[in-house]
Amino acid sequence: MMVGAAMTIPTIILLHFFTNLKLEFSFLFIINLIFLIFLGPLVMDLDHHAGKLREVFTFIGLTIGIIGAIGYMMKINTVQLMVIGIFLASLGYMLCYVTKHRGITHSFAFTVTFTGIMYLLTHNIFLVVIAFISVYSHLIGDSIYFKLI
C-alpha cells in the first residue's frame, strides 16, 4: 500500500501543476481522492484470504444485511438494503475461494476494468488517472508489470 501512496501523491501534484486541469476541491472530490490513494492498491487483494479490504467488505455487507433484515421484520420495506448487504458480504467472503490470489485481480485487465468503473462513478478524468496509477502501483509492488489475465 505504501508503494501506491508513494507513487500517487507525486502524480497528483504533477498533474495539478503541469496540466490545464481546473480542479474543484469539493468535499466529495477529496473523499474520492483519499479512497483512491489509500484503498485503491488494496482492491487487488480482494482475492486474498487475509486481505483487509475483503474483511471490510464482508463486515459492511453483513451489517447492511442485518439492518435490512431487522427493518423487514419491523414491516419496513428494506428488501433492497438486505439484498445489497448479502451481495457485499458474499462478494467479500467468496472472492478468495472462487479465484486464486494473484489471479484475475492481479492483471492489467482488472486494472482497466476498475479504472472504467471509476470513470462511470465519477466522470472525472483526473480521478480516473489517479485510480489507474493507484491500482497499477500494486502490480508494480508485486513485480507483475503487464499480465493480461
Prediction pTM value: 0.65
| Confidence grade of residue 12 (pLDDT, cut at 50, 70, 90) | low
Residues 6+ apart with CB under 8 A from 16: 23
Q: Residue 135 pLDDT more than 50? A: yes
Rounded to 5 degrees, φ, ψ at 142 are -90, 5
Integer angstrom CA distances of residue 113 from 13, 22, 91: 25, 26, 17
Lookup result for grid cell 468503473:
117
Q: Tell me if 84 sits within 8 A of 62, measured CB to CB.
A: no
